[in-house]
Amino acid sequence: MAKFVLRRALEFIPVLLVIVTITFFLVRAAPGGPFDAERAVSPQVLRQLEAQYHLDAPLHEQYFNYLGNLLQGDLGPSFRKPSHSVREWIAIRVPVSLELGAYAILVALTIGLATGIFAALKPNSARDYVPMSLAMVGICVPNFVLGPLLVLVVAMWMGLLPVAGWETAAHRILPSLTLGAAFAAYIARLSRGGMLEVLGQDFIRTARAKGLSEATVVLRHGLRGGLQPVVSFMGPAMAALLAGSFVVERIFQVPGLGREFIEAAFNRDYTLITGIVLFYATLIILLNLVVDILLAWMDPRLRYD
């Protein structure tokens, strides 16, 4: 198991290097610069600003300087928000995004697992068709459509929840539902398929023949094998939840890292964009590593593939 984890961890180093390289050159290839929106800046002042942030150096020198600073844990200064460094801005904003992602994962797992297991216990019946039809609708409706619809119906027409913000518990409900709904639908369908496959196997029939209750059969014997597709899905799903929070944070005015990234993109804040991308890439890689370890624990054959 240790060799399995070490091999997976070493594979991620070149991945991070490729991500940093692509992001570094892509943001600088976009039209405009971090100081183009400054009001009435003379060419002399603009040159001084570029010299201060080493933007006047050749591009390859900027790249290797950035890599050297990165190896020391320095993500650089923010060009448009110089009151804090990039690392400090990430530390300020990321707790909100992680909190939103955790709520969305909780929503997705609770609704998805309950719905999928409920449908698998009575296949090809109304208990199966109705929730799976709703799950298909959830898959087809993107969060940038669902979010405004929830705001319109729940917040504005019914007046039950606040429209935007992140101050109280009520402010967290609509963003979490919006972000987690589509993934709840995927998890429902995956858990239904996995449970159907496991519940039809011989060891489940043996457990029932021994007189075990249906709850014991399903929860103790069926879940470990039936939820393997869900565990495999959760790595990419968590990554998509974090990326999807960009849109949701913008819709509901949540002061998280996603909204900071959008503002940095509009402002051409090179270092802040690259730092946020690197942070998300590292987090996603770690989540996928955790999922790989869980799958290897659930199915020892994967350790030797």
Give me the tens of pLDDT residue by residue for the chain, a chain 305 residues long: 677 777 777 778 888 899 999 999 998 888 877 776 655 567 777 778 777 777 888 888 889 998 998 888 888 888 878 888 898 999 988 889 889 988 998 999 999 888 888 888 888 888 888 888 888 888 888 888 888 999 999 988 998 899 888 988 999 999 999 998 888 988 988 888 888 888 777 777 787 787 777 777 777 777 777 777 887 787 777 777 776 678 888 889 888 888 888 888 888 888 999 999 998 888 888 877 777 777 777 666 655 55
What's the structural domain count of the chain?
A: 1
Residue 253 located in a structural domain:
yes
Q: Which residues pair with 85 in a beta bridge?
A: 77
Residue 47 located in a structural domain:
no
Residue 22 located in a structural domain:
no
Domain, as residue range, for 92: 86-304
Dihedral angle of Cα 238, 239, 241, 243, to the nearest 10 degrees: 170
Residue 7 located in a structural domain:
no
Residue 224 located in a structural domain:
yes
Pull the structure tokens for residue 66. Answer: 């950035």
CA of 123: how far to CAs of 45, 112, 190, 195, in Å? 71, 16, 14, 10
| CATH code for position 123 | 1.10.3720.10
Residue 49 located in a structural domain:
no
Q: Which residues pair with 117 in a beta bridge?
A: none
Backbone dihedral region for residue 31 (phi beyond 0: left; psi -120 to 50: alpha; all else: beta): beta
Q: At which residue do the structure tokens 């398929």 appear?
A: 193
